[in-house]
Structure 1
């Protein structure tokens, strides 16, 4: 099931608000939507100030007929299903899962 334009806008706004303005030169959160999946990334500048920013996959939110499924990324950026996390019914619940420190998506 494709992600709606309204949900795309909500995801973009959520990603922009994750990092305070004073820290955006050091880290940002990105969100790329394609079809039924939204990939959440953490982006950082090069440590020496030379070159391009790096991006690390954090999570993937997939829209299914049953609701939203949250997948994690391993250290190589490959997706794995979070079997202990149930499919949730709304985008807000999926974003709440990402913010919950017990699931350790951010570190």
Structure 2
């Protein structure tokens, strides 16, 4: 699964690949609603993908950022396992994300 998600991340680098950012966010949520991110042997690799998704999104329509990915994270965050929520909360608290990403709004929901 990690290889597939890493490939999806690579697809986001293509010009005009906005749907790929949304797909990545959706796939990460679906995965971490079934498995606990905090208990995964590949926690760091998966956390890097979440970090990338967060840094690529925007709560508002900003050129070069995916507002659809933000909407997916915001509306489906509650689906994550408790362990995954803890890891993501820690990531947001320590991540120095730009305000436009909207991660502070996600933090309020965790």
TM-score with structure 1 setting the length: 0.26
Q: Which structure dedicates a bigger proportion of its chain to strand?
A: 1
* Larger fraction in helix: 2
Q: What is the TM-score of this pair, normalised by structure 2?
A: 0.25
Give the greater-gyration-radius structure (CA): 1
Select the structure with the greater relative contact order (CA < 8 A; seq sep ≥ 6).
2
